[in-house]
């Protein structure tokens, strides 16, 4: 096969003679803060800045050392710290790594970073430590992507999916698939290259069966993407309805806190209020909006416009109606506004005498779940939470080490490409297509596989992935 396909980007030196440095802890005050370096200058820089009562002529690797950071120009102490030197290759980046744990004041961290930079390190770009771990071959691209997912996860389910990927489970599956495909390709290419030699006939049946088996696995992975994505990225959920129907009350009761102002005056909420909530493992960005009505008030007008914009972009609409009043023109207008959106119809104020019947509403919205609640009395809220979950999770997925969950759109797109090529190869085998044709399809599936794990990924795509990281990771 064409070896260029798998010429790993990781073998290309990426100016890694440079030593990078960054503050790895968040901006603000904290108990401790960490300045991190990676690269060949990490140890010499540490030796220049670090002073200990005990003479440390030789740093033990992977051990804490107690001492002070001093300004080498003035000799004055900057902070009392613990420093760790981790010598390559058993480190996060596979390069020499130094971590300086100092007091967590931001100015202090800035000062230590400045000293490190003035001694020859350069500022790290977002995700550059992890990028080096990838470029130096410690992790593949799917594992690097899992690092960012782990940091950004909002629920335990999100953490589990990221951990599964970080442990290299996806990488191992893809590697074994790659080996199978390379095996088939080698057989076919031998026939193409030496047609007149005495080589065994290609076992078309067995090859077909093996590819069908691989296809089944890939199809299975693709099929749980929608659910995986929901757990990884979460959903946006806009609470929409007329004024005074209880939208802000609903936000508050779901959040279990008085986040939004609630009054009997229609038009209370003007601006958009957003909060994140965990619904059975789904991170839900809940958006309370201004009640939709025609208004002359310019502030409220702006609020109504924003509400419509949020409704248009939301993954899910919570359409709130007031069950204690007959529905009117305003309600119907809102209904028609969101008719093509995924939504839950909520009949609020069930504690009051009802003018709208739940059954009638169910007939009116045969395709949408309908639920009757009281935001004021906290009734029906658990049922609503369950309905929101069921609306987004069509099929239950098991998140466990044995069940691979695909949650990243980049992975899904590549898996679909692989699926298409393998399907074509299978059909080609069944219909007696030329070996060139089958080899071409297997090669293109191998190329997509290479992009997935980062072996043939373009620099552009890599940059886009690592840009999402924070500085210092
Ligand atoms: N009885 C009863 N009153 C409710 C219920 N939910 C909300 N209310 C009352 O209805 C009034 C309006 O509630 P809000 O939550 O401010 O309504 P809203 O839809 O956010 O209103 P705007 O922000 O003006 O669009 C308040 O007086 C609430 O106490 C309910 O379930 N039962
Ligand atoms: Mg409101």
Any ligand 1 atom below 6 A from CB of 247: yes
Same domain, 125 and 209: no
Any ligand 1 atom below 6 A from CB of 268: yes
Q: Is residue 470 part of a domain?
A: no
Same domain, 19 and 129: yes
Candidates 268, 235, 248, 269; CA nearest to 320 is 248
Same domain, 283 and 374: yes
- Sheet order of strands, 343-348 included: 273-279, 282-288, 235-241, 316-322, 343-348, 370-372
Write out pLDDT tens, residues 63-72: 999 999 999 9
Q: Give pTM, 2 decimals.
A: 0.83
Which CATH number characterizes residue 439's domain? 1.20.120.430
Q: Is residue 118 part of a domain?
A: yes
Domain count for the chain: 3
Same domain, 245 and 387: yes
Q: Which atom of ligand 1 is nearest to the CA of 250?
A: 15
Same domain, 29 and 164: no
Q: Quote the DSSP letter at residue 264.
A: S
Same domain, 299 and 448: no
Q: Is residue 462 part of a domain?
A: no
Averages of pLDDT over each 10 residues, the chain, 473 residues: 40 67 92 96 95 78 94 95 95 96 95 97 95 94 94 92 92 94 93 74 88 95 92 95 96 96 92 94 95 87 90 96 94 92 97 94 94 97 97 84 86 97 96 93 96 90 89 86
Which CATH number characterizes residue 103's domain? 3.30.1360.120
Cα angle, residue 410 at apex, residues 407 and 416 outer, rounded to 5°: 90
Q: Is residue 460 part of a domain?
A: no
List the domain range (segments joined by +) for residue 373.
Answer: 234-392
Same domain, 50 and 164: no
Inter-residue contact 438 to 251 (CB < 8 Å): no
Any ligand 1 atom below 6 A from CB of 289: no
Same domain, 93 and 189: no
Same domain, 103 and 17: yes
Candidates 261, 324, 254; CA nearest to 291 is 261
Q: Which of 353, 369, 392 is the last residue of a domain?
A: 392
Q: Which atom of ligand 1 is nearest to the CA of 374?
A: 31
Phi and psi torsions of 263, nearest 5°: -145, 165
Same domain, 251 and 308: yes
Same domain, 198 and 265: no
Any ligand 1 atom below 6 A from CB of 376: yes
Same domain, 95 and 161: no
């Amino acid at each position: 096969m064409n070896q260029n396909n798998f010429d790993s980007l990781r073998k290309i030196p990426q100016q890694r003679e440079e030593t990078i440095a960054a503050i790895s802890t968040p901006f603000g005050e904290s108990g401790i803060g960490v300045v991190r370096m990676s690269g060949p200058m990490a140890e010499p820089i540490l030796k220049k800045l670090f002073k200990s009562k005990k003479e440390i002529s030789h740093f033990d690797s992977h051990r804490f050392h107690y001492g002070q950071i001093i300004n080498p120009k003035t000799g004055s102490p900057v902070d009392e710290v613990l420093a760790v030197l981790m010598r390559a290759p058993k480190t996060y980046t596979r390069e020499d790594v130094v971590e300086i744990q100092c007091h967590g004041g931001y100015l202090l961290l800035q000062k230590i970073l400045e000293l490190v930079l003035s001694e020859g390190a350069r500022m790290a770009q977002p995700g550059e430590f992890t990028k080096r771990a990838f470029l130096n071959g410690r992790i593949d691209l799917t594992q690097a992507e899992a690092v960012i997912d782990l940091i950004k996860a909002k629920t335990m389910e999100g953490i589990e999916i990221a951990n599964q990927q970080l442990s290299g489970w996806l990488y191992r599956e893809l590697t074994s698939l790659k080996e199978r495909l390379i095996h088939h390709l080698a057989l076919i290419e031998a026939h193409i290259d030496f047609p007149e030699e005495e080589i065994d006939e290609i076992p078309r049946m067995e090859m077909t069966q093996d590819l069908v088996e691989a296809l089944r696995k890939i199809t299975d992975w693709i099929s749980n993407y929608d659910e995986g994505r929901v757990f990884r990225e979460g959903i946006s959920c806009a609470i929409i309805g007329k004024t005074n129907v209880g939208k802000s009350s609903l936000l508050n009761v779901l959040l279990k806190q008085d986040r939004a102002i609630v009054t009997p005056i229609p038009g209370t909420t003007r601006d958009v209020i957003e909060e994140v909530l965990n619904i059975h493992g789904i991170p839900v960005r809940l958006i309370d909006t201004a009640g939709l009505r025609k208004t002359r008030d310019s502030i409220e007008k702006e609020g109504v416009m924003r509400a419509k914009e949020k409704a248009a972009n939301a993954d899910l609409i919570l359409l709130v109606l007031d069950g204690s009043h007959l529905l009117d023109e305003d309600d119907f207008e809102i209904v028609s506004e969101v008719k093509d959106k995924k939504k839950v119809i909520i009949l609020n104020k069930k504690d009051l005498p009802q003018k709208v019947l739940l059954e009638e509403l169910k007939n009116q919205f045969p395709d949408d779940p309908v639920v009757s609640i009281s935001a004021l009395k906290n009734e029906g809220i658990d049922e609503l939470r369950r309905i929101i979950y069921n609306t987004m999770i069509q099929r239950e997925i098991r998140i466990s080490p044995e069940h691979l969950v695909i949650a990243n759109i980049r992975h899904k797109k590549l898996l679909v490409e692989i699926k298409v090529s393998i399907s074509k190869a299978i059909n080609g085998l069944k219909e007696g297509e030329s070996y060139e044709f089958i080899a071409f399809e297997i090669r293109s599936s191998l190329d997509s596989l290479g992009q997935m794990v980062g072996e043939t990924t373009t620099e552009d795509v890599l940059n886009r992935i690592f840009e999402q990281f924070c500085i210092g990771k």
